[in-house]
Amino acid sequence: MFPLLLIFSPIILIFVVLPLLAVMAVQKRLCRRKPGWLGLILPGIALLYGLFLTVTMSVVMLHYEGPPLITHTSYTTPAGAPSSYEPPPEEVTVEYFPDPNHPLTVSTVGGFLFVFNIPALSLGWIWLKNWREEKAREELGRMKRQELE
């Protein structure tokens, strides 16, 4: 496992970490520019893209007619049963994802919405943090000017 990590770490660095750092640096730079709304450009783009992906995946799930992607089988083994115990079919519960009868649920759409908008939330947090710092600097400058008068 460790040798694989050593092999793939430069690839992860180049294709994942460096682009994330570049986007964060651009976001910080946009937030520091004078019109405060410039810092909302990247979060807005990320939000629109997240909403687009949510709608796309919801439509795909709604019209999905293939085999279940995830199947979970469960049963309870009675006490004292041998290790080769096989339960009768009526005691076995099988859960499918997506459910063939209800392929799209509110929780599925909510999960898509949350996961696909994590970048928008992160970039928006950077903007909000910068905006609060700017307001604090302005207030401090106002207080210093009042003190000098």
CA distance 50 to 142: 40
CA distance 93 to 125: 43
Task: Indicate if the pLDDT at residue 103 is higher than 80.
Answer: no
State residue 92's pLDDT score: 86
Q: pLDDT-based confidence at 118, cuts 50/70/90?
A: very high
CA distance 77 to 74: 10
Do 8 and 78 form a contact (C-beta atoms < 8 A)? Answer: no
Do 30 and 130 form a contact (C-beta atoms < 8 A)? Answer: no
